[in-house]
Amino acid sequence: MTFDSWKKREDGKAGKNRRRYPAERRVFAGAVLLTGAFVLQTAARNLEGFGQWYAVTVYPVLVGTFGRFFGIFPFSASELGLYLLLLGILWYGIRHIRRPAEIVKSGFFAASLLFFLYTVNCGVNYYRDPFSSYLEIELRESSVEELDSLCRLLEDKTAQAAELLLEDGSLSPDKEERKTFPALAKQAMEGLGEKYPQLKGYYPRPKPLLLSEILSVQSLAGIYSPFTVEANYNEDMTAYNIPHTACHELSHLRGFMREDEANFIGFLACINSDSPYFCYSGYLTAYVYAHNALYRQDAEGALEIYYSLPEEVLSDLSANNAFWQQYEGKISEASSRVNDTYLKANSQTDGIQSYGRMVDLLLGYYRSQLAAE
């Protein structure tokens, strides 16, 4: 064997070792991350008080770290990350197409990292004390009459909020006004934190997706990213949805993951805001949930209240229905099924129906308001 041939053989062995050892380290690192995630998930599900302790001690530190860093970017870092991830998967798959074991090992590490980030920034928080436990309200089954009264009250509040906006011209904000919504949502949540200490803390500005149609085709108004600790919203939807959605997503940054409670917190943030658009958004969103609940019990009564809304508000609701109807189809149905399964897997036993439980909180809230008068 010549020296040159021996050197080539040894270089080949070294190259293989260099490829093997990083791959093995990725598998080891992935296993550590996956084990850590499962330990935290198990503790949250089985150790009483662990989820609450984590949500009020560990998670705020993560929000202050991840949230502040990714809050520097004026765009949604999670959206950009999604596009880069998809491109990276394509590039890596093509480059290593002859080494499927390498693809599997790298894929295992990436999946483990994402699951770990999901667990520490979201998953454990599903097992914290609910926001309703901090409120002096009575949650119980309500009568149709109480639901009817709630609808009429919210109809009146919505009409008043709409009237204030119509004095300045329109219920629909222009582009410049919409640009103020992220800052106003941050202010609204910070203001609510002064009233409810459980909501006090750092809030980044919520961000619209550059390609909001990604959310539209899934019938999603917004999404919280546990990978970047960002609140994202759909900028294409009817404007009245945006303030409430932005505050809803920001509430997840305080560890309140239940969708009914995020809806309710978003409502409280909006109606306590100084912005007329936010007040309108909060009351109209709450009215829609209450109306849908009443319609299932008393369709005639619900329609009577519905048609007593101002004509401009009815036009807003019609525009909203038309917007979402254009995206109805197999993709939105599949997305709803995935979301339903996800919520059920995280102890929200009624899945996507949990969004509607906001009505129980509204009823309890207004009962307490009446009792205090």
192-220 pLDDT, tens digit each = 999 999 999 999 999 999 999 999 998 99
Last residue within a domain, chosen from 127, 148, 176: 127
Residues 215 and 246 in one domain: yes
| Percent of residues, the chain, with pLDDT higher than 70 | 86
- Residue 85 has a pLDDT of 94
Residues 170 and 300 in one domain: yes
Residues 122 and 143 in one domain: no
- For residue 134, the tally of other CB atoms under 10 A from its CB is 12
Residues 123 and 142 in one domain: no
- CA–CA separation, 235 and 222 (whole Å): 9
- CA–CA separation, 51 and 123 (whole Å): 9
Residues 207 and 171 in one domain: yes
Residues 86 and 230 in one domain: no
Strand ranges, E, within 180-249: 207-208, 222-225, 230-233
pTM > 0.75: yes or no: yes
Find all residues with CB under 8 Å of 332, minimum gap 6, and list them. Answer: 217, 218, 219
Point out the least confidently predicted range of 18-32, 85-99, 332-346.
332-346
Last residue within a domain, chosen from 112, 127, 142: 127
Cβ atoms of 358 and 293 within 8 Å: the answer is no
- Residue 345 has a pLDDT of 58
- Per-residue pLDDT reduced to its tens digit, 152-197: 999 999 999 999 999 877 888 988 999 999 999 999 999 999 999 9
- Residue 352 has a pLDDT of 38
Counted domains in the chain: 2
- For residue 6, the tally of other CB atoms under 10 A from its CB is 10
Last residue within a domain, chosen from 95, 111, 127: 127
Find all residues with CB under 8 Å of 293, minimum gap 6, and list them. Answer: 147, 356, 359
Residues 169 and 40 in one domain: no
Residues 172 and 31 in one domain: no
Residues 97 and 229 in one domain: no
Residues 114 and 159 in one domain: no
Task: Name which residue leads in pLDDT, 344 or 126.
Answer: 126
- Per-residue pLDDT reduced to its tens digit, 49-73: 999 999 999 999 999 999 999 999 9
Domain with 147, as residue range(s), is 134-372
Question: Residue holding tokens 């004026």?
Answer: 74
Residues 224 and 363 in one domain: yes
Residues 116 and 154 in one domain: no
Question: Residue holding tokens 């590490």?
Answer: 109
